[in-house]
Amino acid sequence: MEGAIEGVLKRIEELRGEIEGHNYSYYVLDNPEISDHDFDALMRELQDLEDKYPEFVSPHSPTQRVGGKASERFPKVVHSAPLLSLANAFGEGELRDFDRRVRNAVGGGVEYVTEFKIDGLSVALTYKDGFFEKGATRGDGVVGEDVTANLKTIKTIPLRLKDRVFLEARGEVFMPVQGFERLNQKQKEQGQSLFANPRNAAAGSLRQLDPGVTAIRPLDIFVFSLQSVQGKYIATHSQGLCYLKEQGFKISPEYRVHDNIQDVIELCYNWQQKRDGLPFEIDGIVIKVNSLRHRELLGATSKNPRWAIAYKFPAQQKKTRIKDIIIQVGRTGALTPTAILEPVNISGSTVGRATLHNEDYIREKDIRIGDAVLVKKAGDIIPEVIGVLAEERTGSEKEFRMPDKCPECGSDAVRAEGEAATRCTGIACPAKIARSIIHFVSRDAMDIAGLGPSIVELLLDKGLIKDGSDLYRLKERREDLTGLERMGEKSVDNLLSSIEVSKTRGLSRVITALGIPFVGIRASKLLAEHFGSMAALQSAGEGDLTAVPEIGDVMARSIVTFFKQHQNREFVERLKSAGVDMTAEYKDKGLSGSLEGMTFVLTGTLEDYTRSEAGRIIEDLGGKVTSSVSKNTNYVLAGANPGSKLEKARKLGVRIINQQEFENLIDKTD
């Protein structure tokens, strides 16, 4: 039983890491690595495991978040009310379950409004005295990015309303199919990379630092929700849409009001067949309760409103043939087999490649080079092979074998027990170096302030660094740094100072920074406490490692394999020669003392700390951070815009503290 529980926890941690990586690629880099369908599957698996094993729920789990995170490139905007994401339905049964829950909650009949689920980028629009004042991306649902100047370039967004009112609305910025095709043709003519799909093109266009670039991109918007309006009574969602139209907004097209779920289901199936005839991309139908009074009765979870759901269309399928199978190395070091296809048109774009996911996927479907196959664009983003037409085989097809060496750097390619992916074990592999460095400098690792993803990419592009160890030699290239864009004298001084301070972070942080597969923050602390030095850890065998509490066989093998690679040992030596301390443990702000036995819950936005930073301070001082308030909670640390945890704390009589009181509490432990 104990082994089974360990397997569950291991799978939960794997899913969290994979989902956060895909969140980063999707929301921050605008570069999705998997389809919406596959992402939804990962989230569902994680949610199911956390529902079944609530003791493993963490406040840092992606299931506890609404979505992605705000970019550092734009000023941040705290939304007046959370912009929640929608739960998904993938069939008639789930729509009927939704209807049953709604009718039971409101105690009778209910009206629904159906709208297209536009494949674009969600934004919030704010008007004061009828004038457009601010526009922000959804971000993580609580904090977004201020893109007002860029939104003003979209001609379908009114700059002045008919009524002089305070109004907040929500809409979806998108790029019409014809505009997307013209943009990609222009990109091709100029020798620039092509956008993967209209959604990706819309997101990249709206988040340009230069509004002049946004202005020449063919962006449009449908406004789909009246969030609030001053001095006017609105009883239903459809009334809100009519009012928005009166004020000059381009509202959701083809929206319909229904008094039963059967009509909703029929409409979903109807548009599933007709979607290709639309001039813009949709990936489903949104179903919303029409009555705002009913919505108040239904309420919301921390992530989704209970009064709305999104019916997601299944992916389209086409027949083609596999010409070859190549290996691509992703930013996490995963070796992904990719099929080179005879080009085929799916959902309005030509597909020449498709993901084969991993070795098990190829074996399960018996995919061979030369096979006739069915291909779909899962979630209408990344194509994948879904089946082989074995009856069309001629005998000339060839079986595929995964390599045992990374094609990028030559390090061992290893598939760990229980994992589907084969991964490169080299820390300096060119294919994953940017992500490795971004992890290396992150808050939970070496915590080097001022080294965001864009700066890391810039340093790599300019050849100033090749891996994380080169950061400690940047002081020798100060003049090169000051010549870079966005790197003035003060910025360079602050960066070099932060790099120097990071040398004192201590052994557990260095272990975390190495990014050894399956070794997270907790395991790094246990290893540091047990072995005391990097040298002792490097020379440890599997038996030595499994003797450490909570270090299992899979993790032990991963550690031994990692340090067996020549480039990884060299990397550690370069850190050592640069003066990075791999023995003494570091405490933030020189804190000492203990919060031993105290349990904290964090809610809202703190002024000077992220929740992760505050949580780490608590744990460094021996305290515990949990995701839910109970009678065993000692303190609820509350910032701006706190959630429902604050009210629960009041009901239970749990002490609520603000940031200043938190800092006073810390000071008492010195």
DSSP of 210-250 = SHHHHHTS--EEEEEEEEEETT----BHHHHHHHHHHTT--
Enumerate the β-bridge partners of residue 116: 285
The Cα–Cα gap between 255 and 286 comes to: 10
**Contact assessment for residue 517 and residue 416, using Cβ atoms and an 8 Å cutoff:** yes
The Cα–Cα gap between 55 and 72 comes to: 34
Q: How many CA atoms lie within 13 A of 407 on its CB side?
A: 12
The Cα–Cα gap between 310 and 268 comes to: 10
Q: What element of type H or E holds 423? A: strand 422-424
Q: Please write down the HEC assignment for all residues of 100-148.
A: HHHHHHHCCCCCEEEEEEECCEEEEEEEECCEEEEEEECCCCCEEEECH
Tokens encoding 275: 């979607």
**Contact assessment for residue 224 and residue 252, using Cβ atoms and an 8 Å cutoff:** yes
Q: Where does residue 273 rank: exposed (0-12), middle (13-18), buried (19+ CB within 10 A)?
A: exposed
117 is an active site residue: yes
Cα 84 to chain centroid, rounded: 15
DSSP of 21-40 = HHHIIIIISS--SS-HHHHH
Residue whose C-alpha is closest to residue 227's, from 175, 174, 282, 295: 295
Enumerate the β-bridge partners of residue 136: 124, 146
To 10 degrees, what angle do helices 507-514 and 521-531 make? 130
What backbone phi and psi angles, to 5 degrees, belong to 128?
A: -120, 130
Q: How far is CA 401 from CA 163, 376, 422, 561, in A?
A: 66, 24, 12, 22
Q: Is 521 helix (H, G, I), strand (E, B) or coil?
A: helix
Catalytic residue among 117, 288, 432, 645: 117
Q: Is 563 helix (H, G, I), strand (E, B) or coil?
A: helix
Q: How many CA atoms lie within 13 A of 378 on its CB side?
A: 20
The Cα–Cα gap between 134 and 149 comes to: 9
The Cα–Cα gap between 146 and 168 comes to: 15
Do you know the residue count of the chain? Answer: 670
Q: What element of type H or E holds 635? A: strand 635-638
Return the active site residues: 117
